[in-house]
Chains A and B, each alone.
Chain A
């Protein structure tokens, strides 16, 4: 398992989760956890995913997610989970 965190931030609109999840399904990336909230009209979603099953390079996934974000007016980032673990857990 290779865990990564996806963050999606932007103006709320119909179909954000659908778009992101469709992309992840196409790339065979499994969603382990998902949470979203809307604060002041801003959509804020975080997902924990497993990228081990995908045959795409991490860099490719990162670029393609950025592209999906542009389509739906959100900023989408994917980062390996290790950076958060290292910083916030001893």
Chain B
């Protein structure tokens, strides 16, 4: 029998510590929507998304009421659009039309984001991949809910530097086309190394070709719960600290597993994975930075930050893995700047630099995330930032990503406002020295020696 204290603990997590299910994401394969006729393809895409995910929002809300835990986002990810559109899209405008179709479908079923306007080009680009990448700025400017991602490298293949160069230009153009809204288009664009096929979190979610026709992936979140639990471990040794994080991560992930199973049952779609990430929001008490402070840092960015984050990330995985039958996605602590009040405070205090964030990405899930940089940052510099981050992922056999926003018309000292879950961010300074001769070299960086395992 469940005890009074256990009931109180769970409800305290939900009511006071922001425990929630961050997203139920339905991955949908669009491979059977491929058609050489653009209109026919778009009609099939829309019909399939509406057919499979039409009840997603209602089911998510119903589960939230049954268990008394908020299910914050209901989302859809689809097969990378560069594969689906390859037969039909002959121009940038054709891909923009595909993006608008995804946007319309998302609006019709009521999800707030749809991911998968994507290309996987870690070794080379097809004509279709390149066309999609060139259409991203206009596609993101012309749509509201579409998220885009491009995988430009992997441990097995090395880094496609032609794609890195093109993505530097794409990020800049996306910023320019959405300049009137603080370049918000870039908040919906992620450049990956080792992108997982089953990530439920936006903006980088897509439904990989290794996946089934449709699948339910769930991302849980509870940085506030971990922070609260660690308050009881102040001054205690590392063993106690790690045990506390593991136990809390276990409990949080169990909620994700429960919700994923129920969503799968109600929607008649197989369960895929639970993503164990600690994902912050701009809300007070929902911050990964505050966990780092509770571990013992004045602000994230202080010496010791990388070690503290490594510890946190590892314990979250260790606690979470046993709580779910299938774990996947990104699974780790996210460190987005604009979406975490503690990170913004660290930045304003002068404690956090881009270089320290880069070091932190070596040990956490994902990478340089939601970082506003000066609007006059060149495409080559953005490519250089991307290349560095991709190299970290390639060599360390982990997922890394870059989601930087060159905020047109703003510079260091200004602030970018993205609104809602995307938050706001002070503009961070970027190293001004030139790397164009490096990123302008053509071809790819070969796969690292430890990728040859056969």
CB under 8 Å from chain B, chain A span 52-81 = 58-59, 62, 77-81
Contact B68 A77 (CB under 8 A): yes
Task: Compute how far the CA of A81 lies from the CA of B67 in the bound complex, rounded to whole angstroms.
Answer: 8
Min CB–CB distance A2 → chain B (angstroms): 10
Contact A81 B2 (CB under 8 A): yes
Contact A83 B65 (CB under 8 A): no
Given contacts A7-B11, A83-B68, A86-B255, contact A59 B62 (CB under 8 A): yes
Given contacts A7-B7, A87-B251, contact A79 B66 (CB under 8 A): yes
Instruction: Jot down 16 A-B pairs with beta carbons below 8 A, ordered by A.
Output: A5-B7, A33-B1, A77-B68, A78-B68, A79-B67, A82-B67, A83-B10, A83-B68, A83-B255, A84-B10, A86-B255, A86-B257, A86-B258, A87-B255, A88-B10, A89-B2
Contact B255 A88 (CB under 8 A): no
Contact A82 B2 (CB under 8 A): no
Tell me which residues across on chain B come within 8 A of A20, comparing CB atoms. none
Task: Compute how far the CA of A79 lies from the CA of B11 in the bound complex, rounded to whole angstroms.
Answer: 10
Least CB separation from B6: chain A residue = A88
Contact B2 A80 (CB under 8 A): no
B405 within 8 A of A: no
The A interface is mostly helix, strand or loop, or mixed, namely mixed
Give the A-binding residues of B (Cβ under 8 A).
1-2, 4, 6-7, 9-11, 62, 65-69, 251, 254-255, 257-258
Task: Compute how far the CA of A83 lies from the CA of B252 in the bound complex, rounded to whole angstroms.
Answer: 10
A26 within 8 A of B: no
Tell me which residues across on chain A come within 8 A of B251, comparing CB atoms. 87-88
Task: Compute how far the CA of A80 lies from the CA of B10 in the bound complex, rounded to whole angstroms.
Answer: 12
Min CB–CB distance A86 → chain B (angstroms): 4
Min CB–CB distance B431 → chain A (angstroms): 46
Tell me which residues across on chain A come within 8 A of B7, comparing CB atoms. 5, 7, 46, 84
Min CB–CB distance B302 → chain A (angstroms): 33
Min CB–CB distance B451 → chain A (angstroms): 37
Tell me which residues across on chain B come within 8 A of A77, comparing CB atoms. 11, 68
